[in-house]
A = this chain, B = another copy of it.
Amino acid sequence: MALSRATREMLGKVGVATLTNCLLKRGLRNAFMHGVQPLSFSLPNMVGEAFTLRFIPSREDVDTMATYASPEHVQRRAMEECPEGMVLVIDARGDARAAAAGDLLIGRLKARGAAGIVTDGGYRDLPGILRTGLPAYQRQTASPATPIVHHAADLDLPIGCAGVAVYPRDVIVGDGEGVVVIPARMADDVAREALDATLYEEFAEAEIAAGRSIFGLFPATEASRAEYEIWRDRKLKETP
């Protein structure tokens, strides 16, 4: 059930808001990470399967500088082990009193081919992170050193992030508004439906700008679907 290239491409073209609609139709009401924002608003959509890192609160006798330098350190291992094309999702318990990661670690993640990084905590060294070009989402900037608050506990277990369940290999999509989590087995269907809905909204936006009422247009009716299909087919012909 790995994320196919076709699904990845479709998810690159749709908005997070539209995806929440498709998930609501399937009974999922809680898939959007509230309060999580992109560092940069000018990047394309972030799309990838979830690889997870879980933090618990730090403790002064455990989280010393010595453990921090160890090759066994779980936060560092996350950066060296997150598979290519995946999104590292960090459960920081919503706590931005210390950094979930900084520019060097995120630079390594980018160099190894990750698709993005998401946390419900925050990052430090924002200019450096922006230089890496990796899509990065956080709740609030968090400059203080990680061990002041966080201890990296384990990798690739199911976690919560910003109030949403994230199971390893769920599909994570981020745009300029935020991040949504799609259960792995629903990703293909949801991507197809969302792409069609996105086109319909493009059609409707043009109609509304031209003065048409939303009644009979949004939500779609059978009649407006028929109009849309003509519009869509013409459009697809025009843009080969």
A interface residue numbers (CB < 8 A to B) = 15-17, 20-21, 24-32, 34-35, 37, 55-62, 65, 68-69, 71, 76, 79-80, 93, 95-97, 99, 102-105, 107-108, 111, 124-128, 131-132, 140-141, 143-145, 147-148, 151, 153-154, 157-160, 163-166, 176-178, 180, 183, 201, 204-205, 208-211, 213-215, 218-219, 221
Our pick among B32, B59, B204 for the contact of A28 (Cβ within 8 Å) is B59
Smallest CB gap from A15: residue in B: B125
Given the complex, which residues of B lie within 8 Å of A214, measured CB to CB?
A: 76, 79-80, 104-105, 108
Our pick among B24, B34, B62, B213 for the contact of A97 (Cβ within 8 Å) is B34
The answer to whether B59 and A165 touch across the interface, beta carbons within 8 angstroms, is: yes
With A35-B140, A96-B34 in contact, is A159–B108 under 8 Å at CB? no
User: Chain B CB within 10 Å — which of A28, A32, A93, A201 has the most?
Assistant: A32
Whole-angstrom CA separation of A164 from B176 in the bound complex: 30
Our pick among B97, B108, B148, B219 for the contact of A68 (Cβ within 8 Å) is B219
User: Chain B CB within 10 Å — which of A35, A143, A159, A176 has the most?
Assistant: A143
Whole-angstrom CA separation of A1 from B147 in the bound complex: 26
Given the complex, which residues of B lie within 8 Å of A56, measured CB to CB?
A: 158-160, 165-166
The answer to whether A180 and B15 touch across the interface, beta carbons within 8 angstroms, is: no
Whole-angstrom CA separation of A143 from B35 in the bound complex: 10
Least Cβ–Cβ distance between A72 and chain B, in angstroms = 10
Given the complex, which residues of B lie within 8 Å of A37, measured CB to CB?
A: 141
Whole-angstrom CA separation of A66 from B89 in the bound complex: 29
Given the complex, which residues of B lie within 8 Å of A99, measured CB to CB?
A: 17
The answer to whether A24 and B165 touch across the interface, beta carbons within 8 angstroms, is: no
Smallest CB gap from A148: residue in B: B29
Whole-angstrom CA separation of A60 from B29 in the bound complex: 8
Least Cβ–Cβ distance between A5 and chain B, in angstroms = 25
With A35-B140, A143-B32, A183-B59 in contact, is A107–B24 under 8 Å at CB? no
Given A24-B144, A29-B144, output 13 extra A-B contacts at Cβ < 8 Å. A20-B143, A25-B65, A59-B165, A80-B215, A95-B163, A104-B208, A105-B214, A107-B208, A107-B209, A111-B211, A125-B201, A151-B158, A153-B158
Whole-angstrom CA separation of A25 from B145 in the bound complex: 10
Given the complex, which residues of B lie within 8 Å of A215, measured CB to CB?
A: 71, 76, 80
